[in-house]
Amino acid sequence: AQSVTQPDIHITVSEGASLELRCNYSYGATPYLFWYVQSPGQGLQLLLKYFSGDTLVQGIKGFEAEFKRSQSSFNLRKPSVHWSDAAEYFCAVYTGGFKTIFGAGTRLFVKA
Amino acid sequence: GAGVSQSPSNKVTEKGKDVELRCDPISGHTALYWYRQRLGQGLEFLIYFQGNSAPDKSGLPSDRFSAERTGESVSTLTIQRTQQEDSAVYLCASSLERVAELSYNEQFFGPGTRLTVL
């Protein structure tokens, strides 16, 4: 069955430090992969997406993600975290039709 | 040019009461989705509308849940005889029409309605 796993429920990083949020998926075909961010009281906002081609994708707000088929992973990275990046991050896979499967989310805390 | 809006933003109700949640999609978006987000969990698909096609209700957890959409505009999600396990954030999203099986149009999410059932 298709699934998305985000192993880290929450992560704390210092402002200015680098960030990597992990995502593993289970899907038989080539997936469409996404990262969304949800700030408190806000809906989800799309950070970036991977459909095909270059496995390193750039998104908004300085985020990037790398698709690794051999590891079934799509980890999100940012070289230098800002306090405003504190939010919840969701990895998702689109399996065709209209269904998008979301991971349980990783809450990012940023300390000064 | 406004985004997806939802109302109310918060709803507290007593067990057994009915509640109605509203979603106003982005103008021109023919596809509309409802999701449930329980505390500490990912988004759980509930129902999908596209244009005048019959909605896909396969994600609705019980017959206490129903949703309607008038044309390509407002949608309401109704939960009858609410239970404490219905407490969650209910998110609505809209997108342009999906034109092919594997085509994907970005979903734009509303801020959600936080439902608390006492």
The 10s digit of each residue's pLDDT in A1-34 is 788 999 999 999 999 999 999 999 998 777 889 9
Does B104 touch chain A if contact means CB atoms closer than 8 Å? yes
For residue B10, the cross-strand partners are: B114
Residue carrying structure tokens 């999609």: B25
CB atoms within 10 A of CB B28: 9
Nearest by CB to residue A94, choosing from B31, B42, B104, is B104
The dihedrals phi and psi of A11, each to the nearest 5 degrees, come to -140, 140
Q: Verify whether the Cβ–Cβ distance B40 to A9 is below 8 Å.
A: yes
Q: For residue B115, what pLDDT band results from cuts at 50, 70 and 90? A: very high
Instruction: List CB contacts of A49: < 8 A, sequence separation 6 or more.
Output: A32, A33, A34, A35, A57, A59, B106
Q: What is the dihedral of CA B31, B33, B72, A39, to 10 degrees?
A: -100
The pLDDT, as a whole number, for residue A47 is 95
CA A90, A95, A96, A98 torsion-angle sign = negative
The pLDDT, as a whole number, for residue B103 is 63
Q: Chain A partners of B109 at a C-beta cutoff of 8 Å?
A: 36, 43-45
Provide the chain B residues 38-57 that lie in CB contact (below 8 A) with chain A.
40-43, 45, 48, 50, 56
CB atoms within 10 A of CB A53: 8
Lowest mean pLDDT among A9-18, A67-76, B3-12, B102-111: B102-111
Q: For residue A46, what pLDDT band results from cuts at 50, 70 and 90? A: very high
pLDDT of A100 > 90? The answer is no
Q: Which of A8, A26, A42, A44 to mutate to test the interface with B (most CBs of B within 10 A)?
A: A44
Q: What is the C-alpha separation between A54 and A74, in angstroms, rounded?
A: 13
pLDDT of A52 > 90? The answer is no
Nearest by CB to residue B4, choosing from A4, A43, A51, is A43
Q: Verify whether the Cβ–Cβ distance B45 to A99 is below 8 Å.
A: yes
